[in-house]
Amino acid sequence: MKDELFNELVSSVREGGAILRGEVTPSRTFVVSGPNIKRLRANYRLSQGQFAALLGISVGTLRNWEQGRREPDGPARVLLQVAARHPEAVWDVVRPVARRRMLSKV
């Protein structure tokens, strides 16, 4: 590695450390917003209980997300993004399970 590139890398690492320690403010920040969960549920035309069951989460968790008290993170955030962009994929996975449950109740 050339000295110039190495020195630039070291400088960058030091700057990152200073930002993490709060000594320097970052030159830019990124905010990634998740989907509007209430609107997403409305698009599916499901109640809170039904939508929570669809996603495999508790109704309380869904309410917290919808009311802005909590933010989905990790796998839940990814699942919501998939549900927003590819609802047919979610229905394709969930419908066979829902049918089996309905048939077992009869």
Give the pLDDT confidence of 46-57 residue by residue, as tens digits. 999 999 999 999
Question: Domain ranges in the chain?
Answer: 1-30, 37-105
In sequence order, the 6+-apart residues with CB closer than 8 A to the CB of 40 are: 80, 83, 84
Give the pLDDT confidence of 61-86 residue by residue, as tens digits. 999 999 989 999 899 999 999 999 99
Question: Tokens representing 10?
Answer: 């070291």
Task: Count the residues in the chain.
Answer: 106
The CATH classification number of 37-105 equals 1.10.260.40
Q: How far apart are CA 25 and CA 35, in angstroms?
A: 28
- The overall pTM is greater than 0.85: no
Distances (CA, A) of 26 to 5, 17, 71, 81, 105: 21, 11, 24, 28, 57
